[in-house]
């Protein structure tokens, strides 16, 4: 039986819905592919129309270079030689420059909208864009690399149908990268400029369309002028839709963002009516994630519509949809980070912003945790164990209560067992943990299961890391702990990441890669804890 779109992508859909409905941190970045339904031309067609225009007559110039930006630069220079751009009597240079610039924009506008479908029926008939309007309204910012105002006209229509005529149009349009927004939601940003169907609605007097303008934009990114956009990419999960990733400036922006924020990832919808082979998909997926932190989904138009519909539906409707699948669908994905002290668990968690996360401790850290467990006196050990028990109870309650999300948890529920020096005491410690995390009269009935990710590291490197944090461990203590961890989970499904020769950024990016692309293999920690506790009887 073929798998459905929902079952094939449920982990990604759960994550995207959490970012939209719970965090309000989901946004869109739109490219030319979303506008083709409306007969808005892509670059090759638009450039050909401009070259054929009566004011240009520059078709031969298209043969000089295969670069679209260079071709546009040539056509603009040809326009400057036309009678329309000739100086007028009494006109100074500033007046002429502005008149010529507006004339060029008028020419581009004419070629852009020459055959465009503009009716309300056309707007609502788009294969998937109309279904995404609620997300565009709710998200902090939608990035639109197109000049046209199709999305804005959709929002006008949607708002009128939903709320009737009102004074507030419900969205804001900007094209400057450093603008301060008036709104917290519904901002539409056109990095390459804005040319609406009705110019009275307001347009940018410059568009990024030629070689020089793209070069300036790239320089501006390097100079930090797009810090607001980079900040947006750092804080939000973005779905890139209708883009082929051929824009050098966009790729540069994504690469800068990936290097600055290795724990933040986004989604790229690779539109394909006919799917590439599994091997080809895997190659593209790995390349996009390793270079740009992009999760690539290979979808056709109908699947994109399903994606949009599932994203915006209410929680109850989504739950019912998952339940209706054969055997139902899992919507709770928990990943536990474990490993020796200094292995990088906490620092990794701090840098991963796109997932729901649970810190190592709920309350302020107990000072005794800075010392090896074996060096503590009996009373100190009892005190710190009781404090740890309380922390694991609180965290298990929170983790168990979380629903419909991808969550990353610092430390597994059984991590305290690593620090029991006497093997005979492991069973009693497990029983103690079980009593605390699953109290007999509490509402939590089990220890939350989850997929285990083990960060392992050479003991010498661990010792150096811990010394920098003021923690006193020797290599022998760390070796014993590392071996205890690996021995405890031997035979259980787990992802092991060796961080010894990795930079912090590499470790940070490896964890989301495991979460997103590896098969979810949860460990039943509740059952395991009971087995360990029973073994001591």
Per residue of the chain (537 residues), what is the pLDDT tens digit?
356 899 999 999 999 999 999 999 999 999 999 999 999 998 899 999 999 999 999 999 999 988 888 899 999 899 999 988 888 988 888 888 889 889 999 999 999 999 999 999 999 999 999 999 999 998 989 999 999 999 999 999 998 887 765 666 788 998 886 666 788 888 999 988 899 999 888 888 888 876 676 566 655 655 455 677 888 899 999 999 999 888 788 888 899 999 999 999 999 999 998 999 999 999 999 999 999 999 999 999 999 999 999 999 999 999 999 999 988 899 999 999 999 887 888 889 989 988 999 998 888 887 777 677 677 788 888 888 888 889 999 999 999 999 999 999 999 999 988 878 777 788 999 999 999 999 888 788 999 999 999 999 888 888 887 776 666 678 888 888 888 899 899 999 999 999 988 888 889 999 999 999 999 999 999 999 999 998 866
- For residue 376, what are its two tokens? 């503590």
Residue-level pLDDT at 179 = 61
In this prediction, residue 215 carries a pLDDT of: 63
pLDDT of residue 268: 97
- Residue 410: strand pairing partners: 337
For the beta sheet containing 356-358, the strands, ordered from the edge strand earlier in sequence to the opposite edge, are 356-358, 405-410, 332-338, 451-456, 494-498
CA-CA-CA-CA dihedral for 365, 371, 373, 378, to nearest 10 = -90
Task: Tell how strand 266-271 and strand 294-299 pair up.
Answer: parallel
Q: Round to the nearest angstrom and report the end-to-end CA distance of the chain.
A: 47
**CA-based radius of gyration for the chain:** 28
Query: What is the pTM for the complete model shown?
Result: 0.90
pLDDT the model gives residue 18: 95
Which residues, 6 or more positions from 515, have their beta carbon under 8 angstroms from its beta carbon?
333, 335, 355, 406, 408, 451, 453
In Å, what is the CA distance from 342 to each residue of 199, 459, 507? 59, 9, 13
Q: Give residue 1's pLDDT.
A: 37
For 428-466, b/e burial (b = at least 16 CB within 10 A) is: ebbbbbbebbbeeeeebebbbbbbbbbbbbbbebbbebb
C-alpha distances out from residue 402 to 112, 396, 451, 518, Å: 48, 10, 15, 22
- Which one, of 410, 414, 259, 262, lies nearest residue 349 by Cα? 410
Instruction: Encode burial over 374-408: b for 16+ CB neighbours within 10 A, e otherwise.
Output: eebeeeebeebbebbbebbbebbbbbbebebbbbb
3-state secondary structure of 238: strand
Query: What strand order describes the sheet that includes 141-144?
Result: 172-174, 187-189, 141-144, 26-30, 237-241, 266-271, 294-299
CB 257 within 8 A of CB 264: yes
Q: What Cα–Cα distance (Å) separates residue 533 from each residue in 318, 372, 432, 480, 489?
A: 39, 24, 8, 22, 16
| Predicted pLDDT of residue 481 | 85
User: Per DSSP, which regions of 8-95 are E strands?
Assistant: 26-30
């Amino acid at each position: 039986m073929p798998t459905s779109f929902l079952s094939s992508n449920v982990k990604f859909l759960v994550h995207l819905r959490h970012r939209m409905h719970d965090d309000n941190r989901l946004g869109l970045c739109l490219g030319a592919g979303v506008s083709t339904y409306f007969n808005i031309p892509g670059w090759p067609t638009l450039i050909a129309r401009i070259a054929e225009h009566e004011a240009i007559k520059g078709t031969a110039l298209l043969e000089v270079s295969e670069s679209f930006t260079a071709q546009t630069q040539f056509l603009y220079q040809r326009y400057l030689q036309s009678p329309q751009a000739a100086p007028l009597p009494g006109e100074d240079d500033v007046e002429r420059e502005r008149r010529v610039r507006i004339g060029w924009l008028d020419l581009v506008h004419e070629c852009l909208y020459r055959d465009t479908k503009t009716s309300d029926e056309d707007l609502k008939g788009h294969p998937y864009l109309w279904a995404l309007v609620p997300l565009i309204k709710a998200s902090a910012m939608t990035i639109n690399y197109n000049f046209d105002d199709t999305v804005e006209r959709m929002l006008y229509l949607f708002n009128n149908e939903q709320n009737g005529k009102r004074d507030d149009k419900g969205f804001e349009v900007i094209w400057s990268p450093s603008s301060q927004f008036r709104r917290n939601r519904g901002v539409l940003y056109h990095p390459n400029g804005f040319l609406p169907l009705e110019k009275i609605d307001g347009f940018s007097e410059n568009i990024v369309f030629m070689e020089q303008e793209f070069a300036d934009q790239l320089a501006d990114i390097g100079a930090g002028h797009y810090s607001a956009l980079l900040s947006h990419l750092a804080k939000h999960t973005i779905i890139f839709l209708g883009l082929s990733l051929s824009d050098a400036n966009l790729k540069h922006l994504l690469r800068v963002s990936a290097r600055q924020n290795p724990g933040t990832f986004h989604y790229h919808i690779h539109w394909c009516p006919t799917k590439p082979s599994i091997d080809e998909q895997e190659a593209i997926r790995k390349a996009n994630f390793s270079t740009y932190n992009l999760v690539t989904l290979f979808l056709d138009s109908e699947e994109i519509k399903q994606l949009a519909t599932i994203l915006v539906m209410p929680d109850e409707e989504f739950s019912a949809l998952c339940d209706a699948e054969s055997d139902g669908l899992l919507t709770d994905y928990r990943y536990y980070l474990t490993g020796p002290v200094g292995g990088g668990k906490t620092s990794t968690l701090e840098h991963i912003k796109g997932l729901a996360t649970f810190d190592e401790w709920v309350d302020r850290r107990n000072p005794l945790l800075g010392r090896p467990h074996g060096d503590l006196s009996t009373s100190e050990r009892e005190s710190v164990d009781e404090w740890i028990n309380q922390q694991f109870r609180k965290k298990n309650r929170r983790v168990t209560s979380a629903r419909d999300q991808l969550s990353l948890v610092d430390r597994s529920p059984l991590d305290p067992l690593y620090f029991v020096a006497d093997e005979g005491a492991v069973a009693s410690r497990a029983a103690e943990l079980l009593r605390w995390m699953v109290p007999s009269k509490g509402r939590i009935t089990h220890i939350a299961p989850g997929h285990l990710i083990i960060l392992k590291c050479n003991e010498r490197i661990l010792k150096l890391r811990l010394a920098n944090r003021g923690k006193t461990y020797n290599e022998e203590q760390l070796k014993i702990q590392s071996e205890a961890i690996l021995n405890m989970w031997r035979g259980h499904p787990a992802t092991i990441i060796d961080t010894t020769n990795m930079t912090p950024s590499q470790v940070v990016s490896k964890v989301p890669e495991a979460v997103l692309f590896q098969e979810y293999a949860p460990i039943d920690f509740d059952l395991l804890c009971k087995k360990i506790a029973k073994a001591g009887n």
